[in-house]
Amino acid sequence: MNTKKLIHYAIILACPILTYLFPAPLGLPIIGWHLFGVYVGTILAIMFKPFPLPIVLLAGVALASIVVGTTPAETLADGTKLALKENDVLNGYKSGTTWLVFAAFAMSTAFVTTGLGKRIAYLMIRAFGGTTLRLGYVNACLDLLLSPAMPSTTARAGGIMFPIMNSVTVSLGSDPEKSPRKAGHYLLLNTYMIVKTTGYMFLTAMAPNAVALELMKPITGITFNWPQWFLAASVPGLLCLLLTPLVVYVLYPPELKKVDNAAIAKKGLEEIGPISKQEKTLLGLFVVAVLAWIFSEQLHVSPSTIAISVMALLVILAVINWEDLLKNKGAWNTFIWYGGILGLSSVLDKAHFFTWLSETLKQVMNFGEGHATVATIAILTVSVGVRYLFASGGAYVAAMVPVFSAVGMAAGAPPTLLALGLLFSNSYGGALTHYGSGPAPVIFGAGYHDTKSWWIVGAVVGFGSLLIHVTVGFAWWQTLSGMGIF
């Protein structure tokens, strides 16, 4: 074991240990102080990566359970008795949010396994991909179409769009060493910037979305269902999606403008073969799932129940088999670590930590009267900028969403604007760097990009999206609030 790892271990272990060596801050229950140490240690472990993410969260859950089980019940200032149970830490695994994300991964697996995602892509290339710019918009349309059912941006961008666009790039004669700017630089960079835009369009479009919503709920008191989320994201999101391929094209225009899309599509469709029964069934289930999510309230069925039902039908109707789901490491990893982080957050809430944090921050945060919108914009700007430090959207959500939520509420930010701003910035903030989320290293590793061009485009897309959200987005969300949508 090298010195660097030893230092990381020491820092991680110091967090919970220090909460036993030093007294709890005034107003914070003792168990909340101890659990805070476990939570911070877990977040640091997510960032340092001494072990795979699921192992880190299982260790955090185990330690939190020990803390809960060994900390005596405490009588609070108002006379109420605070006594948590060890099983409270496991609540994240029975959360509908965790199961919604996990079940949605099943449909994601089906799109890749059956080849339906690739088929739709080649059909769209044949119909609309006559130029490199149009190919950029084909990418945008396809990603928007797939995103409601694929919470893994790595699966969408890395598993479907990257192989297709990379093969298109090769067929166009664009080589990563000799001619990257001929087509590959634009097409692949656009692939990543698009997935960071579609990632916040739907609650089920990116795995951290639902988790971020759950983490901020006890702080802001705000929650959104599937249709509300889409309505809020639709206007600013579609505007960003419309602009992204053009912005990337203007910043770094490809040398090749015209494309023989008919030949590319013909070759791709021939390799896939005729449409199968499984693809037709999957398409029908996909439409049913989206419609059911939209009308879930009218149907009196929760989004998680819909997702689990569709997952079961995918196996029952032989679209995929159980072995396909067992092989989907992303789904199981997500289930384990997201359930763990939600469990840690839930016991922190029950231990009155977030209440204490909000009250404490109110005493130090003051933007002055009438500056609530300024406070919101300032917090959202920081939330995007801080993404330069994170190589994982999940790590950012776990570490920063509760903090920014508490800071915003303490500063008097409008809860709805703050919540939606933070939920959406998590996705487009990941556009900034070539390590910002799972698909980034896959696409960057193809060799068509240099760090400078990626960071320039990422900054324009990331902070440009922020500008659209705090102008057009704020106006749209206030309109929806006035109509009683939220």
CA–CA dist 350, 90 (Å, integer)? 13
Q: Between the CA atoms of 310, 292, 233 and 419, what dihedral angle is there, to the nearest 10 degrees?
A: -80
CA–CA dist 423, 215 (Å, integer)? 11
Handedness of CA 7, 11, 12, 14 (dihedral sign): positive
> How much is the pLDDT for 244?
96
Say whether 428 sits in a helix, a strand or coil.
Answer: helix
- CA neighbor of 229 nearest in space, from 419, 404, 484, 470: 419
pTM strictly above 0.95:
no
pLDDT tens sequence across 424-473: 998 999 898 887 777 887 788 778 888 889 999 999 999 999 999 999 99
| Higher per-residue confidence, 448 vs 95 | 448
> How much is the pLDDT for 202?
92
> How much is the pLDDT for 361?
67
User: Which of 53-57, 279-283, 389-393 is the least confident region?
Assistant: 389-393
> How much is the pLDDT for 370?
61
> How much is the pLDDT for 466?
96
pLDDT tens sequence across 381-437: 988 988 887 766 777 887 788 888 888 888 888 899 999 999 999 899 989 888 777
| Higher per-residue confidence, 240 vs 292 | 240
74-75 and 81-82 as β-strands: parallel, antiparallel, unpaired?
A: antiparallel
Question: What phi, psi does 328 have (nearest 5°)?
Answer: -80, 85
CA–CA dist 341, 336 (Å, integer)? 9
> How much is the pLDDT for 369?
56
Burial 332-360 (b: 16+ CB within 10 A, else e): ebbbbbbbbbbbbbbbbbbbbbbbbbbeb
pLDDT tens sequence across 352-377: 887 787 677 666 666 555 678 888 89
Residue 30: CA count within 13 A, CB half-sphere:
16
Domain boundaries, given as residue ranges, for the chain: 97-208+225-330
> How much is the pLDDT for 387?
85
> What is the DSSP-derived secondary structure letter of residue 470?
I
C-beta of residue 293 within 8 angstroms of C-beta of residue 228: no
CA–CA dist 340, 334 (Å, integer)? 10
What end-to-end distance do the CA atoms of the chain give, in Å? 52
Q: To the nearest whole number, what is the mean pLDDT of the chain?
A: 85
User: Which of 66-75, 120-129, 248-257 is the least confident region?
Assistant: 120-129
pLDDT tens sequence across 300-344: 888 788 888 988 999 999 898 888 888 878 778 878 877 887 788
pLDDT band at 197 (very low <50, low <70, confident <90, very high): very high
How large a percentage of the chain has pLDDT more than 70? 97
Say whether 117 sits in a helix, a strand or coil.
Answer: helix
What mean pLDDT comes out for the span 49-71? 89
Q: Which helix (H) or strand (E) holds 75?
A: strand 74-75
Q: Kindly give the residue spans of alpha helices, DSSP state H, lying in 147-225.
A: 153, 162-171, 184-198, 207-220
For 292-338, the DSSP string reads HHHTHHHHT--HHHHHHHHHHHHHHTTSS-HHHHHH-HHHHHHHHHH
pLDDT tens sequence across 135-167: 899 889 888 988 887 777 877 887 678 777 887
C-beta of residue 208 within 8 angstroms of C-beta of residue 476: no
